[in-house]
Protein backbone atom coordinates (compact mmCIF):
# COMPACT_ATOMS: atom_id res chain seq x y z
CA UNK A 1 0.00 0.00 0.00
CA UNK A 2 2.84 2.33 0.78
CA UNK A 3 6.34 1.01 0.55
CA UNK A 4 6.49 -0.74 -2.83
CA UNK A 5 7.04 1.34 -5.91
CA UNK A 6 5.56 -1.07 -8.53
CA UNK A 7 2.11 -2.16 -7.46
CA UNK A 8 0.19 -5.13 -8.83
CA UNK A 9 -3.07 -3.25 -8.97
CA UNK A 10 -1.56 -0.60 -11.26
CA UNK A 11 -1.18 -3.16 -14.07
CA UNK A 12 -3.61 -2.30 -16.88
CA UNK A 13 -6.50 -4.74 -17.30
CA UNK A 14 -5.11 -6.05 -20.60
CA UNK A 15 -1.92 -7.14 -18.87
CA UNK A 16 -3.50 -9.02 -15.98
CA UNK A 17 -1.78 -12.41 -15.86
CA UNK A 18 -3.52 -15.72 -15.22
CA UNK A 19 -3.39 -16.32 -11.48
CA UNK A 20 -1.19 -19.43 -11.67
CA UNK A 21 1.49 -17.47 -13.52
CA UNK A 22 1.04 -14.46 -11.29
CA UNK A 23 1.45 -16.64 -8.22
CA UNK A 24 4.65 -18.11 -9.61
CA UNK A 25 5.98 -14.65 -10.20
CA UNK A 26 5.09 -13.59 -6.66
CA UNK A 27 6.69 -16.71 -5.35
CA UNK A 28 9.91 -15.76 -7.07
CA UNK A 29 9.62 -12.23 -5.76
CA UNK A 30 9.26 -13.60 -2.26
CA UNK A 31 12.95 -14.36 -2.40
CA UNK A 32 15.16 -17.38 -1.82
CA UNK A 33 13.65 -20.78 -1.26
CA UNK A 34 11.44 -21.16 -4.38
CA UNK A 35 8.27 -21.41 -2.28
CA UNK A 36 5.16 -23.02 -3.69
CA UNK A 37 1.48 -22.95 -2.90
CA UNK A 38 1.72 -26.64 -2.00
CA UNK A 39 4.28 -25.82 0.71
CA UNK A 40 1.90 -23.21 2.07
CA UNK A 41 -0.96 -25.68 2.28
CA UNK A 42 1.32 -28.11 4.11
CA UNK A 43 2.30 -25.37 6.54
CA UNK A 44 -1.35 -24.45 7.08
CA UNK A 45 -2.31 -28.07 7.79
CA UNK A 46 0.56 -28.53 10.28
CA UNK A 47 -0.39 -25.35 12.15
CA UNK A 48 -4.04 -26.36 12.34
CA UNK A 49 -3.17 -29.83 13.67
CA UNK A 50 -1.25 -28.29 16.59
CA UNK A 51 -4.01 -25.86 17.56
CA UNK A 52 -5.64 -26.42 21.00
CA UNK A 53 -9.06 -25.43 19.62
CA UNK A 54 -9.00 -27.79 16.64
CA UNK A 55 -11.97 -29.76 18.02
CA UNK A 56 -14.24 -26.72 17.42
CA UNK A 57 -13.78 -26.88 13.63
CA UNK A 58 -15.54 -26.92 11.27
CA UNK A 59 -18.10 -24.71 12.98
CA UNK A 60 -21.81 -24.53 12.21
CA UNK A 61 -22.52 -22.56 9.02
CA UNK A 62 -24.45 -19.30 9.25
CA UNK A 63 -25.88 -18.64 5.78
CA UNK A 64 -27.56 -15.30 6.54
CA UNK A 65 -25.12 -13.46 4.30
CA UNK A 66 -24.77 -15.12 0.91
CA UNK A 67 -21.50 -14.21 -0.77
CA UNK A 68 -22.97 -14.79 -4.24
CA UNK A 69 -19.52 -15.78 -5.53
CA UNK A 70 -17.49 -18.99 -5.48
CA UNK A 71 -15.17 -19.36 -2.50
CA UNK A 72 -11.56 -18.53 -3.42
CA UNK A 73 -9.39 -21.65 -3.30
CA UNK A 74 -7.47 -21.69 -0.02
CA UNK A 75 -4.08 -21.84 -1.71
CA UNK A 76 -4.54 -18.29 -3.02
CA UNK A 77 -5.40 -16.93 0.40
CA UNK A 78 -2.45 -18.79 1.93
CA UNK A 79 0.11 -17.30 -0.43
CA UNK A 80 -1.15 -13.79 -1.19
CA UNK A 81 -1.31 -11.74 1.97
CA UNK A 82 -0.91 -8.26 3.34
CA UNK A 83 0.84 -8.53 6.70
CA UNK A 84 3.32 -5.67 6.77
CA UNK A 85 4.79 -6.87 10.05
CA UNK A 86 6.52 -9.53 7.94
CA UNK A 87 7.32 -7.46 4.86
CA UNK A 88 5.85 -5.17 2.26
CA UNK A 89 5.18 -7.82 -0.40
CA UNK A 90 2.41 -10.36 -0.85
CA UNK A 91 4.55 -13.48 -0.39
CA UNK A 92 5.17 -13.16 3.37
CA UNK A 93 3.63 -16.51 4.28
CA UNK A 94 6.90 -18.26 5.04
CA UNK A 95 8.18 -15.39 7.20
CA UNK A 96 4.87 -15.26 9.07
CA UNK A 97 5.47 -18.80 10.34
CA UNK A 98 7.86 -17.24 12.89
CA UNK A 99 4.88 -15.76 14.72
CA UNK A 100 4.33 -17.59 18.02
CA UNK A 101 0.60 -17.86 18.59
CA UNK A 102 0.53 -19.77 21.91
CA UNK A 103 0.42 -18.64 24.63
CA UNK A 104 -1.56 -15.64 23.33
CA UNK A 105 -3.32 -13.19 25.57
CA UNK A 106 -5.72 -10.42 24.69
CA UNK A 107 -6.02 -7.39 26.92
CA UNK A 108 -9.48 -5.80 27.25
CA UNK A 109 -9.08 -2.23 28.45
CA UNK A 110 -10.47 1.28 28.58
CA UNK A 111 -14.12 2.14 29.15
CA UNK A 112 -15.27 -1.22 30.53
CA UNK A 113 -16.76 -2.25 33.87
CA UNK A 114 -13.59 -4.16 34.71
CA UNK A 115 -10.49 -4.43 32.50
CA UNK A 116 -9.20 -7.99 32.09
CA UNK A 117 -6.82 -10.16 30.13
CA UNK A 118 -7.95 -13.43 28.59
CA UNK A 119 -6.06 -16.29 26.95
CA UNK A 120 -7.10 -16.92 23.37
CA UNK A 121 -8.20 -20.51 24.03
CA UNK A 122 -10.46 -19.40 26.90
CA UNK A 123 -11.95 -16.67 24.75
CA UNK A 124 -12.60 -18.98 21.80
CA UNK A 125 -14.48 -21.40 24.08
CA UNK A 126 -16.63 -18.68 25.65
CA UNK A 127 -18.57 -17.73 22.52
CA UNK A 128 -19.92 -20.30 20.03
CA UNK A 129 -18.07 -20.29 16.72
CA UNK A 130 -19.86 -20.07 13.40
CA UNK A 131 -18.77 -20.09 9.77
CA UNK A 132 -19.70 -17.26 7.43
CA UNK A 133 -18.66 -16.78 3.83
CA UNK A 134 -17.74 -13.14 3.22
CA UNK A 135 -16.44 -11.14 0.28
CA UNK A 136 -13.08 -9.56 1.13
CA UNK A 137 -12.15 -6.43 -0.86
CA UNK A 138 -8.69 -4.92 -0.46
CA UNK A 139 -8.13 -1.21 -1.06
CA UNK A 140 -5.59 -2.35 -3.68
CA UNK A 141 -8.53 -3.44 -5.91
CA UNK A 142 -8.27 -7.22 -5.55
CA UNK A 143 -10.81 -9.45 -3.83
CA UNK A 144 -11.36 -12.93 -2.46
CA UNK A 145 -14.31 -14.83 -1.04
CA UNK A 146 -13.42 -16.43 2.27
CA UNK A 147 -15.18 -18.89 4.60
CA UNK A 148 -14.25 -17.36 7.95
CA UNK A 149 -14.91 -18.94 11.33
CA UNK A 150 -15.45 -16.73 14.35
CA UNK A 151 -18.10 -14.93 16.33
CA UNK A 152 -19.88 -11.60 15.90
CA UNK A 153 -18.14 -8.68 17.61
CA UNK A 154 -21.46 -7.87 19.30
CA UNK A 155 -21.21 -11.12 21.29
CA UNK A 156 -17.70 -10.19 22.38
CA UNK A 157 -19.05 -6.80 23.50
CA UNK A 158 -21.50 -8.59 25.81
CA UNK A 159 -18.53 -10.36 27.38
CA UNK A 160 -16.38 -7.22 27.67
CA UNK A 161 -19.16 -5.15 29.33
CA UNK A 162 -18.29 -1.64 28.08
CA UNK A 163 -19.55 1.46 29.89
CA UNK A 164 -21.98 3.81 28.19
CA UNK A 165 -19.06 6.25 27.76
CA UNK A 166 -17.47 3.84 25.21
CA UNK A 167 -17.94 5.23 21.69
CA UNK A 168 -15.22 3.40 19.75
CA UNK A 169 -13.21 0.21 19.82
CA UNK A 170 -9.46 0.49 19.25
CA UNK A 171 -7.57 -2.72 18.39
CA UNK A 172 -3.85 -3.35 18.37
CA UNK A 173 -1.64 -6.04 16.80
CA UNK A 174 1.43 -7.52 18.57
CA UNK A 175 4.73 -5.66 18.52
CA UNK A 176 7.69 -8.01 18.31
CA UNK A 177 10.47 -6.91 15.95
CA UNK A 178 12.44 -10.05 16.83
CA UNK A 179 10.04 -12.22 14.85
CA UNK A 180 8.36 -9.56 12.71
CA UNK A 181 11.19 -8.18 10.65
CA UNK A 182 8.90 -5.60 9.07
CA UNK A 183 8.66 -3.93 12.48
CA UNK A 184 12.40 -3.35 12.59
CA UNK A 185 13.55 0.13 11.62
CA UNK A 186 15.04 0.12 8.14
CA UNK A 187 15.98 2.53 5.44
CA UNK A 188 12.41 2.53 4.11
CA UNK A 189 10.34 1.87 7.21
CA UNK A 190 11.98 3.79 10.04
CA UNK A 191 8.94 5.97 10.58
CA UNK A 192 6.15 3.36 10.52
CA UNK A 193 4.04 3.76 13.67
CA UNK A 194 3.98 0.16 14.94
CA UNK A 195 2.02 -1.58 16.30
CA UNK A 196 -0.72 -1.82 13.67
CA UNK A 197 -3.86 -0.17 15.04
CA UNK A 198 -7.42 -0.12 13.77
CA UNK A 199 -10.74 1.12 15.06
CA UNK A 200 -14.49 1.11 14.59
CA UNK A 201 -17.46 2.82 16.20
CA UNK A 202 -19.57 0.98 18.74
CA UNK A 203 -22.46 1.11 16.26
CA UNK A 204 -20.32 -0.58 13.59
CA UNK A 205 -19.09 -3.14 16.10
CA UNK A 206 -22.65 -3.98 17.12
CA UNK A 207 -23.68 -4.59 13.49
CA UNK A 208 -24.14 -8.33 13.08
CA UNK A 209 -21.76 -8.43 10.09
CA UNK A 210 -18.73 -7.37 12.18
CA UNK A 211 -16.87 -10.61 12.85
CA UNK A 212 -13.97 -11.54 15.11
CA UNK A 213 -12.21 -14.32 13.23
CA UNK A 214 -10.47 -17.36 14.71
CA UNK A 215 -10.39 -19.62 11.67
CA UNK A 216 -10.78 -19.94 7.91
CA UNK A 217 -11.61 -22.74 5.50
CA UNK A 218 -12.92 -24.89 8.37
CA UNK A 219 -9.70 -24.78 10.41
CA UNK A 220 -7.95 -22.50 12.92
CA UNK A 221 -6.46 -19.40 11.24
CA UNK A 222 -3.13 -19.83 9.46
CA UNK A 223 -0.50 -17.42 10.75
CA UNK A 224 -0.22 -15.44 7.53
CA UNK A 225 -3.97 -14.75 7.68
CA UNK A 226 -3.72 -13.17 11.14
CA UNK A 227 -3.70 -15.99 13.69
CA UNK A 228 -4.89 -16.48 16.26
CA UNK A 229 -7.48 -13.69 16.29
CA UNK A 230 -8.37 -11.02 13.74
CA UNK A 231 -11.25 -8.86 12.61
CA UNK A 232 -13.22 -8.91 9.38
CA UNK A 233 -15.51 -6.05 8.37
CA UNK A 234 -16.68 -7.11 4.89
CA UNK A 235 -18.18 -3.76 3.87
CA UNK A 236 -14.89 -1.93 4.38
CA UNK A 237 -11.53 -2.05 2.63
CA UNK A 238 -9.40 -4.91 3.94
CA UNK A 239 -6.92 -2.76 5.84
CA UNK A 240 -9.60 -2.19 8.51
CA UNK A 241 -9.58 -5.94 9.21
CA UNK A 242 -6.68 -5.99 11.65
CA UNK A 243 -4.76 -9.24 12.18
CA UNK A 244 -3.24 -10.95 15.24
CA UNK A 245 -4.92 -8.74 17.83
CA UNK A 246 -3.44 -8.47 21.35
CA UNK A 247 -5.38 -5.52 22.75
CA UNK A 248 -8.99 -4.34 22.48
CA UNK A 249 -9.68 -1.01 24.07
CA UNK A 250 -13.03 0.75 24.43
CA UNK A 251 -12.50 4.48 24.01
CA UNK A 252 -14.34 7.78 24.21
CA UNK A 253 -12.44 9.27 21.27
CA UNK A 254 -11.86 8.07 17.71
CA UNK A 255 -8.63 6.07 17.46
CA UNK A 256 -6.12 6.88 14.75
CA UNK A 257 -5.38 3.83 12.65
CA UNK A 258 -1.97 2.71 11.38
CA UNK A 259 -2.52 3.71 7.75
CA UNK A 260 -4.31 6.91 8.70
CA UNK A 261 -1.26 7.92 10.73
CA UNK A 262 1.02 7.25 7.75
CA UNK A 263 -1.02 8.58 4.82
CA UNK A 264 -4.18 10.37 6.04
CA UNK A 265 -5.07 11.60 2.55
CA UNK A 266 -5.25 8.02 1.25
CA UNK A 267 -6.44 5.89 4.17
CA UNK A 268 -9.03 7.24 6.57
CA UNK A 269 -10.96 5.98 9.55
CA UNK A 270 -14.13 4.93 7.70
CA UNK A 271 -12.81 3.23 4.54
CA UNK A 272 -16.20 1.97 3.35
CA UNK A 273 -16.04 0.37 -0.10
CA UNK A 274 -17.33 2.69 -2.83
CA UNK A 275 -16.62 2.12 -6.54
CA UNK A 276 -17.27 5.78 -7.32
CA UNK A 277 -14.68 7.24 -5.00
CA UNK A 278 -11.17 6.81 -6.34
CA UNK A 279 -8.20 6.13 -4.20
CA UNK A 280 -5.99 9.19 -4.91
CA UNK A 281 -3.71 6.95 -7.00
CA UNK A 282 -6.07 4.44 -8.66
CA UNK A 283 -9.69 3.66 -9.49
CA UNK A 284 -11.90 1.62 -7.16
CA UNK A 285 -14.51 0.93 -9.87
CA UNK A 286 -13.49 -2.70 -10.42
CA UNK A 287 -11.65 -5.47 -8.63
CA UNK A 288 -9.46 -8.38 -9.68
CA UNK A 289 -10.91 -11.61 -8.31
CA UNK A 290 -7.99 -13.69 -7.05
CA UNK A 291 -7.90 -17.24 -8.33
CA UNK A 292 -9.66 -16.27 -11.56
CA UNK A 293 -8.91 -14.20 -14.65
CA UNK A 294 -11.88 -11.98 -13.88
CA UNK A 295 -12.11 -8.30 -13.16
CA UNK A 296 -15.60 -7.38 -11.97
CA UNK A 297 -17.42 -4.19 -10.96
CA UNK A 298 -17.03 -3.26 -7.30
CA UNK A 299 -20.25 -2.74 -5.34
CA UNK A 300 -21.10 0.01 -2.87
CA UNK A 301 -20.32 -1.24 0.66
CA UNK A 302 -18.93 -4.32 -1.13
CA UNK A 303 -22.56 -5.36 -1.64
CA UNK A 304 -23.44 -5.25 2.08
CA UNK A 305 -25.36 -1.95 1.87
CA UNK A 306 -28.73 -3.37 2.97
CA UNK A 307 -27.19 -4.29 6.34
CA UNK A 308 -24.87 -1.32 6.94
CA UNK A 309 -25.89 1.82 5.03
CA UNK A 310 -28.07 3.00 7.93
CA UNK A 311 -24.96 3.29 10.08
CA UNK A 312 -23.83 6.25 7.99
CA UNK A 313 -27.02 8.13 7.15
CA UNK A 314 -26.36 10.92 9.69
CA UNK A 315 -22.65 11.26 8.92
CA UNK A 316 -22.81 13.44 5.82
CA UNK A 317 -19.75 15.52 6.74
CA UNK A 318 -17.42 12.56 7.20
CA UNK A 319 -15.04 11.15 4.58
CA UNK A 320 -16.90 7.85 4.59
CA UNK A 321 -15.19 6.30 1.58
CA UNK A 322 -11.48 6.52 2.32
N1 LIG B 1 -3.30 -6.41 9.96
C2 LIG B 1 -2.02 -6.26 10.35
N3 LIG B 1 -1.72 -6.40 11.64
N4 LIG B 1 -1.04 -5.97 9.46
C5 LIG B 1 -1.29 -5.77 8.13
O6 LIG B 1 -0.36 -5.48 7.36
N7 LIG B 1 -3.01 -5.71 6.37
C8 LIG B 1 -4.41 -5.39 6.12
C9 LIG B 1 -5.36 -6.33 6.89
N10 LIG B 1 -4.93 -6.46 8.26
C11 LIG B 1 -2.65 -5.91 7.70
C12 LIG B 1 -3.64 -6.27 8.65
C13 LIG B 1 -4.75 -5.44 4.71
S14 LIG B 1 -4.18 -4.13 3.78
C15 LIG B 1 -5.53 -6.41 4.16
S16 LIG B 1 -6.08 -6.32 2.56
C17 LIG B 1 -5.89 -7.60 4.93
O18 LIG B 1 -5.36 -7.61 6.25
C19 LIG B 1 -5.36 -8.83 4.21
O20 LIG B 1 -5.82 -10.00 4.83
P21 LIG B 1 -5.47 -11.41 4.15
O22 LIG B 1 -3.97 -11.49 4.04
O23 LIG B 1 -6.03 -12.45 5.06
O24 LIG B 1 -6.14 -11.40 2.80
Average model confidence (pLDDT) across the chain: 89
DSSP letters for 13-62: GGGPPPHHHHHHHHHHHT-TT---HHHHHHHHHHHHHT-TTGGG-SPEE-
Contact 124, 56 (CB under 8 A): yes
Q: What distance in angstroms lies between residue 143's CA and the mean position of ligand 1's atoms?
A: 12
Q: For the chain, percent helix, then strand, then coil, each to nearest 5? A: 30, 25, 50
Among 14-18, 139-143, 218-222, 261-265, the minimum mean pLDDT is found in 14-18
Residues 6+ apart with CB under 8 A from 52: 102, 121
Give the residue-averaged pLDDT of 115-130: 98
Interatomic CA distance for residues 260 and 305, integer angstroms: 24
* Residue 309 CA: distances (Å) to CA of 62, 187, 236, 272, 300: 22, 42, 12, 10, 9
Q: Residue 26: pLDDT band by 50, 70, 90 thresholds? A: very low
The DSSP bridge partners found for residue 248 are 108, 171
Which residue ranges make up each domain of the chain?
15-312
Q: What distance in angstroms lies between residue 76's CA and the mean position of ligand 1's atoms?
A: 14
Interval 236-279: pLDDT, tens = 999 999 999 999 999 999 999 999 999 999 999 999 999 999 99
Q: What distance in angstroms lies between residue 248's CA and the mean position of ligand 1's atoms?
A: 17
Look at ligand 1, atom 5, and give the residue with the nearest C-alpha.
83
> Which ligand 1 atom sits nearest the alpha carbon of residue 244?
3
Q: What distance in angstroms lies between residue 225's CA and the mean position of ligand 1's atoms?
A: 8
Tell me what pLDDT residue 22 has.
Answer: 36
Look at ligand 1, atom 9, and give the residue with the nearest C-alpha.
239
Interatomic CA distance for residues 147 and 134, integer angstroms: 6
Peptide bond into 228 cis (omega under 30): yes
Question: pTM for this structure?
Answer: 0.90
Helices (H), 207-272: 258-262
- pLDDT higher than 60, residue 294: yes
Judge residue 41's burial from the number of C-beta atoms within 10 Å of its C-beta, 0-12 exposed, 13-18 middle, 19 or more buried: middle
Q: What distance in angstroms lies between residue 269's CA and the mean position of ligand 1's atoms?
A: 15
| 15-312 under CATH 3.90.420.10, yes or no | yes
Contact 61, 188 (CB under 8 A): no
Residues touching ligand 1 (Cβ under 6 Å) are 1, 81-85, 138, 173, 196, 225-226, 238-239, 241-244
Q: Best of 243, 262, 302 to mutate for ligand 1, by most ligand atoms within 8 A of CB? A: 243
Amino acid sequence: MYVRSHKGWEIPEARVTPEAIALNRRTLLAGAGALTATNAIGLGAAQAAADPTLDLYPAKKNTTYEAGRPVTAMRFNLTYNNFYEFGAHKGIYKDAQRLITRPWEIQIAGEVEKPFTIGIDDLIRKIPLEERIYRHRCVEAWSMTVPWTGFPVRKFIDLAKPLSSAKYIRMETFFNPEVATGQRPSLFQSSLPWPYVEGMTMAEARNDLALFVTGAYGKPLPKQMGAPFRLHLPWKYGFKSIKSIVKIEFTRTRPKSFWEAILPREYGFWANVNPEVRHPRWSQATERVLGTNNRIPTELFNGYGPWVSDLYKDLKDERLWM
